[in-house]
Every structure is written in structure tokens, then in C-alpha cells.
Amino acid sequence: MTDITIALSKGRIFEDTAPFLKAAGIIALDDPETSRKLIIDTNKPNVRLIMVRASDVPTYVQYGAADLGVAGKDVLLEHGGMGLYQPLDLQIARCKMMVAVPEGFDYQSAVFQGARLRVATKYLKTARDHFAEKGMHVDLIKLYGSMELAPLVGLADAIVDLVSSGNTLKANHLKAVEEIRPISARLIINQAALKLKRTTIQPMLDSFESVVGVT
């Protein structure tokens, strides 16, 4: 029996992935939201789940520590996707990568005038590529969280961040002014594992595919 390791992150990704796992007959024996275990057994003796930071999922899969994983497209864009097969957009954890500014800031005028903006973000590669395509010169400031605070205290003119409902922006008197791209979670597979363990992985892939758009 071929062993399979699946890398997931806690929170929304895990919750939204549960129906896909169930379709493949996989049920976690512990709740990662309450358990402190980082390796979680399942009802299938050859399948285990490992719980890692969302930004680390592609790395675990790329280097073969996990055979499969579920990661947001935002994370994959920053990672680069090397060594990963991305066969399926699961259409879960959907949101948008946006540029946002304070409510009183005239972003379009600043762009038109060629102003050099300071932009705070966790997504440096995505932001750099976006502004380069627009021909804009920006100074990028790397932050790991609480992005909305940066423009409020004068650290940045704008932010690039994921936006779901937009409520956090509104609560902090910010507005989304530009969509960079839609974001959703993807199934990723280690390319070597797909070749060596295809007879085990392919049925799981088929099961996942049957659930896309249904959840």
C-alpha cells in the first residue's frame, strides 16, 4: 500500500478542503483546529495529513515531504510553482488580490502623474509584477500582517492584499481601487510523486475533481 502525505493549513483552507477529502474517502481522526498535533492520521492507514503554515505548503510538496497539498494561488504566485503540478482549481477560499488606498487618496491621479508610491504588502512578487506591467515605479515594503495599518500611520501610500468581503478595508477607512487578479485554492502535486504513485494519486484526483463547483 502506497503511503500518501497531504499538506494542508489550518483555518479556511482545511475547512473548505474537507468535502474533497471526504469524496476521496479520507476523514481526519483529529480536528486540527483543536489538536496540537502537526501530523494527523486519517481513517486510511496509508494517508496522513500534515498541518503547516499556508505559505509553506508549496515548499513541503516541492521537496517531496508531502505528495499533495492545497494552497492559495496567492501563495503559489509568490513561491513560483517550481516542481509542482497544479492540475485543479478547487474554487474554494475565493477572494481577490487588490490594491487599496485611504478613502481620501486619489489613486488614479497619482498613477497618471507618475508618482512614486510606497506600497506595503506580503506579496512582493505579485505586487512587483503588477506595477511593472503598469509602468509604475513603486517602493515595496514587506509586511507580514495588519496591512491595513500601513497607510493609516504613514508607512505606505497603498497596500496590496487579499480582499474577501471588504469589511476590514471599510472599518479602517480604506478603499479597493484596483483588482490584480482573482484568487482561489489549488490542488498541487509533487511531480515525482505523480509519476511514482500515480495509481494511488489518480483516484484521489478524480474524486477531488468530482466535487469542484459542488461545495
* Residue 191: domain span: 4-93+184-211
Do 43 and 27 contact (CB within 8 A), yes or no?
yes
30 backbone dihedrals φ, ψ, rounded to 5°: -135, 155
Q: Provide mean pLDDT across the span 116-137.
A: 95
Q: What is the CATH number of the domain that holds 164?
A: 3.40.190.10
HEC-encoded secondary structure of 98-167: EEEEECCCCHHHHHHCCCCEEEEECCHHHHHHHHHHCCCCEEEEECCCCCCHHHHCCCCCEEEEEECCCH
Whether the pLDDT of residue 88 is over 90: the answer is yes
- What's the structural domain count of the chain? 2
Residues 50 and 113 in one domain: no
Residues 10 and 86 in one domain: yes
Whose cell is 477607512? That residue is 173
Q: Provide mean pLDDT across the span 107-135.
A: 93
Percent of the chain predicted with pLDDT > 90: 87
Q: What is the pLDDT of residues 20-53, one digit of tens each?
A: 999 999 999 999 889 999 999 999 999 999 999 9
Residues 111 and 142 in one domain: yes
pLDDT at 215: 53
pTM: 0.90
Q: For residue 153, give Cα distances in angstroms to 65, 108, 162, 174.
A: 41, 21, 20, 13
